[in-house]
Structure 1
């Protein structure tokens, strides 16, 4: 922090000693000021600047550490997300395979049921024919088929 007098600050704000009127001499004066050797920084200012530098370096280290922690956390979260996505994909594939297998099983059971229904119907038809044959046999043996029934 450069030490400057109150009068210089006031003059800068007011536009110089002439109350804001600018003249060509002002530029010459500035060039002369630039040629003057700069004032050395006092020990108090040096200590202040060093303290500020240390403080800022500490903030940079903390910020860098925090940034690294956030990067690590982000990588960890992304890895977990990717793992969950892969698990989800695997589960969906497994469930689709199971559904396909169940569908195939249902189709097989329906086909077996249709076969059993046909076999049952065929067996029923066979027993009905047998029943008719037995009934006719009994009917003919008793004489009913010849009209010789035992009616009186």
Structure 2
């Protein structure tokens, strides 16, 4: 990066520093599918063991997952999402919805049912007015707002 560059402060960039890599987000996906054991994560993601180990350590250090020992001889652990990690479910469903619409429109590979019994069709809404979040004009405010 050039010395005179002043990158925009941004929570998106900060988040991508932690989860913005294929094997990381696929490990989180597996946890949402109920997969807790390392060998199954390797199999289901296609990640190499050393890469997945590094990604899981990064997620643990960031407080997104926690390890729990399930065997002492030999020592073995399984992985669980923390409250912070469970909040990534909204991110995953948004990515899935986009992929279903723009990459796999004829045959989405996975569909989720909501607790109401219907197929899940996630929508991000404004907590104040209830309208879709991306509807209308946006005015950025705060320290990440730089000149255009």
Indicate the TM-score class for this superposition, using the shorter chain for normalisation: under 0.3
- TM norm structure 2: 0.18
- TM norm structure 1: 0.17
Greater strand share, structure number:
2
1 or 2 for the larger relative contact order (CA 8 Å, sep ≥6)? Answer: 2
Greater helix share, structure number:
1
